[in-house]
Structure 1
Amino acid sequence: MHSNNQAPDPLKSISFLRDHLLPNLLKDDEKDILYWAGKELARSSTFDSFEELTEQMTTIFLGALEQTKSTKHTFLYDWTGPLVSHRLTTQAAPSFSLEAGFLAEGYQQVTGIYTEATYEIDFKQSRVTILLQSDHHVSLNEN
């Protein structure tokens, strides 16, 4: 057995799965599948407040979520942290669809308002900006 004095880096492990294995398996459908997977993950939890949702995002996805702007139906959040920085410095086009889907579904649970999310990557600032858009006219009971 080979002895290695260096502790494993969990950021490298998570990034390897997210940025190498999943894109290879999911191909062109990666962003869509990961978005809906994020929504499904959020459905397996219950959030009584936005604070609980934020705590879960931090715990599950190893990052920090900060609201930077809001209007009546839109909310902008900056997603930062060591894993975000690692993925942005080691990948040309990492996907954050999983986090966006999770946040959209969690926000929808907390508010009861239909919500979807998109994101933009800011490599220079080492952050991802997630845009939540809520539609008060869509009934959640239509499905």
Structure 2
Amino acid sequence: MKETDQLAALLPAQTILYAERMSMPYLGYHLLRETLTNALLGESESPILYWLGKEMGRKIRITAETGIIHPFMRLGLGQLDLIESSEQGIAYKLSHSIYQYQSPERLCRTLSLEAGIIAGALESWKQTEIVAQLEIDGSSMIRIIARSKK
């Protein structure tokens, strides 16, 4: 049986194949994330990005806590590492070389998309509502903690 691409529900197969062979500058992507979303969404940027992320994440099929790591890398969202999994929740460390050039306030707003993607993927897998929150400390360590909503 052929395994379905985890990203097939987000993009057409031909687009995925072509895009993964391309080498594109990151500047355009960063411009969209940094400038356009802020200009279009304003003060609602964070909750809208979280909601969109959850919608996207629900379409990424995973079978374990680590199942979301590879799609993150393929989508250029950063290096995601599982740092803790317990009854209380699942914690990931998210890193990307561009984060050091962004203010903590901007990171909190823009990374709501990534937090939402994680929450959505975990929701589909665990079949329960999940909430994810960002924690950013002074050393640019970004933790995303996902818990069942109670």
Q: TM-score, normalised by structure 2?
A: 0.72
Match of 1:77 among 92, 100, 121: 92
Q: What is the aligned-residue identity percentage?
A: 26
**1:49-93: per-residue Cα shift (whole Å, max 9, x none)?**
4333221122114311112233313122110123xxx14414452
Corresponding position: 1:58 with 2:73: yes
State how far apart, in whole Å, the 2-side matches of 1:8 and 1:54 are.
22
- CA-atom RMSD in angstroms: 2.2
Q: 1:91 to 1:20 in 2, by over 3 A?
A: farther
C-alpha distance in structure 2 between counterparts of 1:87 and 1:20, whole Å: 15
The runs of 5 or more residues in structure 2 that have no matched partner are: 1-22
With over 3 angstroms needed to count, the CA separation of the structure-2 counterparts of 1:67 and 1:92, relative to structure 1, is closer
CA contact (8 A) 1:34 1:97 kept: yes
Aligned match of 1:22 = 37
Superposed, which structure 2 residues align to 1:83-94 within 5 Å? Answer: 86-91=98-103, 93-94=105-106
Where does residue 25 of structure 2 map in the other structure? 9
Residues 19, 27 of structure 1: CA spacing in aligned structure 2 closer, same or farther, 3 A cutoff? same
Match of 1:128 in 2: 142
- Structure 1, unaligned runs of 5 or more: 1-6, 138-143
Which residue number in structure 2 is paired with residue 32 of structure 1?
47
How many residues are treated as equivalent by the alignment? Answer: 125
Aligned-residue offset at 1:8: 6.2
> Within 5 A, what are the aligned runs for 1:91-106?
91=103, 93-94=105-106, 95-106=110-121
Q: For the Cα contact (< 8 Å) 2:57–2:120, is it kept in 1?
A: yes
Shift of 1:105: 0.8
**Residue of structure 1 in register with 2:130 after alignment:** 115
Normalising by the residue count of structure 1, what TM-score does the alignment of the two structures yield?
0.75
Rounded to whole Å, the distance in 2 between the matches of 1:8 and 1:39 is: 26
AA paired with 1:62?
L
With over 3 angstroms needed to count, the CA separation of the structure-2 counterparts of 1:81 and 1:87, relative to structure 1, is closer
- Kept in 2, the 8 Å contact 1:119–1:131? The answer is yes
- Report what 2:11 is aligned to: none
In 2, the alpha carbon distance for the partners of 1:92 and 1:119 equals 11
Instruction: Tell me, yes or no, if the aligned pair for 2:95 and 2:141 is still in contact at 8 Å.
Output: yes
Matched residue type, 1:93: E
- Mapped to 1, the partners of 2:34 and 2:123 lie a distance apart of 27
